[in-house]
């Protein structure tokens, strides 16, 4: 315990140099601008900055990336409030009440609420990041191939069902992602799969080119294809954070913060889920339920705190299990690997300090967004006035640079373009890209774990279901999957109601 606090203290001190703080602010600034621009996501911000920060010291580079991650999610609420378009997917829940407040001439107040909620919830999430990561990492040390197989499958199952509204299309994208991850030389016998004799394909599909394509180019095409350009809402009142609102809605902040962290822990559940679940929970218990969707402070606070606290939540499984929960955390994990830190169960053994460094970085990121929230909102909104005809070609330029820079291969630019065009058409047909990314990230883990497990068990499937942790993960995965079968879902709901009735009558009899 004391050792942990000492490590945390030295981690904070290690970042207290003017240059490092400046890099952090720079990362948050880029993230904020990306978040403000509709469509440009936290994923793209991290992917582009990964290439830019390759020559920096590992810890400084990760600081820049975490600051841009937090900054992008925070920046995304600006367009949700002013344009009714979420800057990132995670800010969609902020649209309803944020835009309604803007229409009532309270856009500045809505932005102030977003700032105070974002800072508080990120700091709340940081506490959980510091306490849960070492605990989970100790459990993860007991994980073997069998457990990792179930974890990877659980991630894909969840991503298919929760991201977007159509589980079938989500699972299909998850399967496509897993399939793309099989391209190239496999890790067990060095056999080349789906390469069709191409040397370039033997190296596999790079995560960063694929992500830049799916989230960058697809978005460029989305923006350029729209014949109508939206106009920004006027910002007339003060944008300073409203701490009084924060105190008044403290239970909403606490509840949504906890929901955000715990949805963040689940592999495959993006930041948007944290926001939506928090919003739904706030609506269920709020005294001003009728105002939800019409400019409710409670609703906006819940949505903003839910998505921001999920950022530290997402970092917990990345660090302790090596399994990212969302697309931005997947790129962040790839960046950590590029900088010589392998996230996963062995992290606590090989780089025990790193966990505390990430805690310090996330804290700094929340202070960076507070600083920009206090002083930088109005000037940064000017970026929304740049016509998309000018902005989008420049974004594509950055996409090409981002795809090329990691491995200096032209082939990666072609991959980015192919995946970007494919992603555009799939998105137009109702397919989400987040499950594809998760499949791409979890594909190698799934393949390696399944076949390594089968080697260890000499071809027997029994250990996949009999080892204690495996059994728990298998039960949860199969249960989650079966919940999408209507008959099973109805049966579970029936059992739930019977238990609730039984509990109520038992409590009534005992006079409690």
Q: By CB under 8 A, name the binding residues for other proteins.
A: 51-55, 165-166, 168-169, 171-172, 175-176, 178-179, 182, 186, 188-189, 191, 193-194, 217, 220-221, 224-228, 389-390, 392-394, 396-398, 400-401, 404-405, 408, 410, 413-414, 416-417, 420-421, 424, 428-430, 446-447, 450-451, 454-455, 458-459
Which residue, 2 or 190, is less far from other proteins as judged by CB? 190
Which residue, 54 or 492, is less far from other proteins as judged by CB? 54
- What pairs with residue 192 in β-bridges? 185
The number of residues making up the chain comes to: 512
Which residue, 100 or 417, is less far from other proteins as judged by CB? 417
Radius of gyration of the chain (CA): 23
CB of 304 to other proteins, least distance (A): 25
Which residue, 191 or 284, is less far from other proteins as judged by CB? 191
Which residue, 136 or 152, is less far from other proteins as judged by CB? 152
CB of 216 to other proteins, least distance (A): 11
Which residue, 12 or 414, is less far from other proteins as judged by CB? 414
- Classified as helix, coil or strand, 285 is helix
Which residue, 10 or 187, is less far from other proteins as judged by CB? 187
CB of 182 to other proteins, least distance (A): 5
Q: Please give the helix or strand (H or E) that residue 185 lies within, else none.
A: strand 184-185
CA distance 208 to 43: 10
Ramachandran class of 235: left when φ > 0, alpha when ψ lies in -120 to 50, beta otherwise: beta
CA distance 219 to 41: 9
Surface-to-core class of residue 324, CB atoms within 10 Å of its CB (0-12 exposed, 13-18 middle, 19+ buried): buried
CB of 431 to other proteins, least distance (A): 8
Q: Quickly tell me which residue has 């969609």 as its tokens.
A: 92
CB of 159 to other proteins, least distance (A): 14
The residues near 144 (Cβ < 8 Å, ≥ 6 apart) are: 453, 456, 467
Surface-to-core class of residue 487, CB atoms within 10 Å of its CB (0-12 exposed, 13-18 middle, 19+ buried): exposed
What is the C-alpha end-to-end distance of the chain, expressed in Å?
40
CB of 84 to other proteins, least distance (A): 13
CB of 228 to other proteins, least distance (A): 7
- What pairs with residue 184 in β-bridges? 193
CA distance 450 to 175: 16
Nearest in space to 43 (alpha carbons), one of 500, 436, 408: 436
CB 450 within 8 A of CB 190: no
CB of 11 to other proteins, least distance (A): 25
Which residue, 189 or 511, is less far from other proteins as judged by CB? 189
Which residue, 386 or 491, is less far from other proteins as judged by CB? 386
CB of 273 to other proteins, least distance (A): 16
Q: Taking the CA of residue 238 as centre, how many other CA atoms within 13 Å lie in the half-sphere pointing to its CB?
A: 4
């Amino acid at each position: 315990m004391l050792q942990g606090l000492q490590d945390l203290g030295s981690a904070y001190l290690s970042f207290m140099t003017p240059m490092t703080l400046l890099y952090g602010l720079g990362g948050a600034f880029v993230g904020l601008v990306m978040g403000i621009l509709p469509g440009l996501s936290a994923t793209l911000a991290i992917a582009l900055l990964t290439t830019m920060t390759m020559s920096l010291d590992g810890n400084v580079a990760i600081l820049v990336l975490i600051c841009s991650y937090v900054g992008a999610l925070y920046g995304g609420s600006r367009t949700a409030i002013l344009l009714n378009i979420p800057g990132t997917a995670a800010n969609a829940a902020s649209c309803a009440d944020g835009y309604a407040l803007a229409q009532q001439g309270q856009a500045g107040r809505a932005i102030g609420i977003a700032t105070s909620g974002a800072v508080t919830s990120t700091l709340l999430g940081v506490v959980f990041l510091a306490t849960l990561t070492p605990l989970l990492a100790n459990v993860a040390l007991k994980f073997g191939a069998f457990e990792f197989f179930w974890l990877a499958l659980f991630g894909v199952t969840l991503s298919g069902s929760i991201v977007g509204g159509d589980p079938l299309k989500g699972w299909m994208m998850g399967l496509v992602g897993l399939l793309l991850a099989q391209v190239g030389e496999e890790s067990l016998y060095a056999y080349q799969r789906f390469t069709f004799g191409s040397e370039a394909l033997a190296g596999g599909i790079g995560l960063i080119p694929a992500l830049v394509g799916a989230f960058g180019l697809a978005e460029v095409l989305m923006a350029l294809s729209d014949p109508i350009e939206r106009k920004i809402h006027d910002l007339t009142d003060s944008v300073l954070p409203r701490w009084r609102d924060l105190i008044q809605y403290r239970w909403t902040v606490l509840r949504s913060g906890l929901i955000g962290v715990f949805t963040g822990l689940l592999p495959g559940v993006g930041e948007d889920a944290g926001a939506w679940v928090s919003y739904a929970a706030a609506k269920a218990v709020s005294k001003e339920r009728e105002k939800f969707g019409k400019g409710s402070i409670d609703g906006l606070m819940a949505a903003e705190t839910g998505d921001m606290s999920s950022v530290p939540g997402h970092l917990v499984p990345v660090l302790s299990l090596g399994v990212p929960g969302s697309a931005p955390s997947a790129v962040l994990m790839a960046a950590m690997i590029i900088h010589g830190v392998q996230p996963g169960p062995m992290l606590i053994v090989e780089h025990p300090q790193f966990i505390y460094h990430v805690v310090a970085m996330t804290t700094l990121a929340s202070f960076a967004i507070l600083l920009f929230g206090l002083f930088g909102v109005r000037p940064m909104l000017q970026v929304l006035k740049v016509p998309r005809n000018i902005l989008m070609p420049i974004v594509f330029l950055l996409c090409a640079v981002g795809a090329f820079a990691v491995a200096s291969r032209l082939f990666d630019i072609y991959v980015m373009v192919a995946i970007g065009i494919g992603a555009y058409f799939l998105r137009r047909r109702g397919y989400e890209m987040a499950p594809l990314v998760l499949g791409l990230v979890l594909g190698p883990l799934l393949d390696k774990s399944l076949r390594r497990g089968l080697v260890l068990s000499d071809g027997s499937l029994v250990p996949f279901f009999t080892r204690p942790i495996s059994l728990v993960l298998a039960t949860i995965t199969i249960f989650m999957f079966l919940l999408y079968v209507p008959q099973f879902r109805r049966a579970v709901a029936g059992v739930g109601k019977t238990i609730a009735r039984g509990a109520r009558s038992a409590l009534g009899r005992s006079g409690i």
